[in-house]
Amino acid sequence: MGWWHETGRVGGKRDYDAAMRWYVKAVEDGDALANWNIGRTYEFGYGVSKDLVTAKTWYQKAADRGVLQALDSLANLGHNPDDAAFEKRGP
């Protein structure tokens, strides 16, 4: 549902707040891909302040759960997911 709100497929306009609520609910329900979606919202500033540190945190959570897109996202941000120097911290 989050993607539908993010892209405007619901109601004809983008609703980033609703998208984030659905992504958070999906994470709470165990959806690994939702971690990546939250990372994207922070990387690109979709309805939130752009925050690359927070984006990397969410991407790392997704990568830890096997989401391959998250590895690409981390690499694009210049982060090696095996780098022990990256401090894992939650938002």
> How is 55-73 classified by DSSP, letter by letter?
HHHHHHHHHHTT-HHHHHH
With both helix axes pointing from N to C terminus, report the angle between 32-44 and 52-64 in degrees, rounded to the nearest 10.
160
Q: Which residue has the tokens 């894992």?
A: 88
Nearest C-alpha neighbor of 86 from the set 49, 60, 64, 63: 60
Per-residue pLDDT of 2-50, as tens digits, reads 877 878 887 788 888 889 998 999 999 999 999 999 999 999 999 999 9
Examine the pLDDT at 88 and tell me if it is beyond 60: no
